[in-house]
Amino acid sequence: MTEVRVRPLTPVAALAADSPAPLRRRSPWPARRRAALKHTGLVALCLLMLYPLIWLLVSSFKPTDLIFRDVSLIPSDVDWTNYSQGWNALQYPFGRYLLNSAVIVLGSLLGNLVSCSMAAYAFARLEFRGRRLWFAIMLGSIMLPIHVIIVPQYILFARLDWINTFLPLIVPKLLATDAFFIFLMVQFFRGIPRELDEAARLDGCGHGRIYLRIMLPLSLPALASLTLLTFVNTWNDYLGPLLYLRSPNLWTIQIGLRSFISEYNAEYALIMTGSVLSVLPIAVIFLLGQRYFIEGVATSGLKG
């Protein structure tokens, strides 16, 4: 019987035998295809979301009789006089209504920024009797429909002789009446470490200086969110100005747009031009502050 001898492997051969087989390098094309498809889908979705705004802008240059007959984005007939006619079509120039809306928006912004942030600081940092109860009542007020308080508010403002002035639209903002904005700021303040407050107290700071020097500078994203939401809500408000503003020289842009619709006719071309002018400030504010808005909403929702 023949004996078979096995020669031992050399160290190099043994290392080569134990090493795994080389992996095949994957082609980058499948990943690139997925990325291309994803970006194509996002672009298509973006165009779908922007289509109403693009149609609004294009329709503002069409004659009234072509707005609903020709729905394409390339108008067959362009009327460049729509903006000049819309600007001067009402009793007062359209710029008057833009100015009135701007005054109300600025007053509401100042009121909400100051009052809501101060109320939120009290709920987030101060210890007082019934804090949890008052906070729960404040949150419960969010569920109240506005129709429940319209009549009592109107009676109150009528007795104060504030009807036909901007006061009913601005003064309540100075009294922290927007519970959602208070809740937004409370959530953000609770995410700021209390060690900063304690360090400030060791340096002799009271609640006022802590609020002004520490809490507000660190809350810029939440304040930006509050600013943007207040701007949009106040700028688009129709019911409030309709109730309290009677004189045409006090009307806001939303009441001015409604004036283009009469009982038997509607000037849709002028409505489109006015709507474009109404949307432009909101679009500019959002584009300038979208980063802070997203950051403020995200952090306020995660911290508690």
Residue-level pLDDT at 181:
92
Phi/psi at 232 (nearest 5 deg)? Answer: -65, -45
29 exposed, middle or buried (CB, 10 Å; 0-12, 13-18, 19+)?
exposed
Contacts of 53 (CB under 8 A, 6+ apart): 279
Which tens digit of pLDDT belongs to each residue from 117-144? 999 999 999 888 989 999 999 989 888 8
Q: List the structure tokens of 125.
A: 């940092």
| Residues 31/38, Cβ–Cβ less than 8 Å | no
Residue 149 Cα distances to 9, 152, 202, angstroms: 92, 6, 45
Tell me which residue has tokens 């729960």: 136
Domains of the chain: 92-302 (1.10.3720.10)
Task: Give CA–CA dist 144/161, Å, rounded.
Answer: 26
138 exposed, middle or buried (CB, 10 Å; 0-12, 13-18, 19+)?
middle
Residue-level pLDDT at 230:
92
Task: Give CA–CA dist 237/271, Å, rounded.
Answer: 17
Low-confidence ranges of the chain (pLDDT < 50): 1, 15, 302-304
Residue-level pLDDT at 53:
87
Residue-level pLDDT at 76:
78
| Residues 180/142, Cβ–Cβ less than 8 Å | yes
Residue-level pLDDT at 297:
61
Task: Give CA–CA dist 70/76, Å, rounded.
Answer: 8
